[in-house]
């Protein structure tokens, strides 16, 4: 991969970029290749996804969480991934691949969070999930009617007028103890109770 050095009988030897491990496609008679050996053919699709469900609790408006169980593959391989889309009216729109998780082992749950799709809050739609196995066989699709996360609660922001507190003479008392409220930057002599530096009463 890179230049190597070695010391032998007090002799220093350098090999400049011997490239002893990797050959590129430009290397004559040394072009790398990938050899895959298979036994038989897999033309059977995986089972349909099971336990397809959704929820939108705790998500931002318009988002959605969908889950299902990775199905068995009937052809001897394994379920590798999924095609996912949603129906907007009569149009089927594929979900971007970066949002679709890989399949787990058969029987494991898969969770997908849908975001950045432009769904409005409380939007109803139909999600469709199709399993795909390692031989590119596509299984039967399953549909699920969903509703995206609604808008958050809108709080009443009406301004309520407040009356100022009436002037009070003397110290405040709580449970028979006199208390005082000070600014964090104020200082008070603990013996005399005088402000440092002195200040006029407010």
From the CB of residue 46, how many other CB atoms can be counted at a distance below 10 Å? 28
* SS3 assignment, position 22: coil
Q: What are the domain boundaries of the chain?
A: 50-148, 170-201
* pLDDT (average), residues 188-201: 82
DSSP label of 46 = B
Confidence of residue 117 (pLDDT cuts 50, 70, 90): confident
* Averaged pLDDT, 102-118: 90
Percent of the chain scored above 70 by pLDDT?
Answer: 92
Query: Does the pLDDT value for residue 1 go beyond 60?
Result: no
Q: Is the pLDDT of residue 176 over 90?
A: no
pLDDT bracket for residue 41 (50, 70, 90)? confident
- Per-residue pLDDT tens for 45-90? 999 999 999 999 888 899 999 999 999 998 888 999 999 999 877 7
Give residue 133's pLDDT: 92
- State whether the Cα torsion 181-186-187-188 is positive or negative: negative
Architecture of domain 50-148: Sandwich (2.60)
The pTM (predicted TM-score) of the whole model is 0.58
Beta bridge partners of 131: 82
């Amino acid at each position: 991969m890179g230049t190597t050095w070695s010391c032998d009988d007090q002799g220093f030897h350098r090999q400049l970029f011997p490239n002893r491990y990797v050959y590129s496609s430009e290397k004559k008679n040394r072009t790398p290749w990938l050899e895959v050996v298979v036994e038989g053919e897999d033309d059977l699709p995986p089972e349909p996804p099971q336990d397809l469900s959704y929820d939108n609790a705790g998500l931002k408006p318009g988002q959605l969480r969908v889950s299902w169980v990775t199905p068995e593959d009937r052809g001897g391989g394994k379920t590798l991934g999924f095609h996912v889309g949603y129906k907007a009216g009569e149009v089927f729109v594929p979900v971007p691949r970066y949002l679709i998780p890989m399949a787990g082992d058969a029987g494991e749950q898969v969770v997908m969070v849908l975001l950045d799709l432009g769904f409005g809050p409380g939007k109803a739609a139909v999600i469709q999930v199709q399993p795909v196995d390692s031989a590119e066989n596509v299984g039967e699709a399953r549909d699920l009617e969903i509703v995206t996360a609604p808008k958050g609660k809108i709080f009443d922001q009406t301004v309520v007028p407040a009356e100022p507190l009436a002037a009070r003479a003397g110290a405040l008392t709580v449970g028979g103890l006199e208390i005082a409220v000070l600014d964090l930057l104020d200082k008070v002599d603990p013996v005399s109770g005088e402000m440092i530096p002195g200040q006029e009463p407010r």
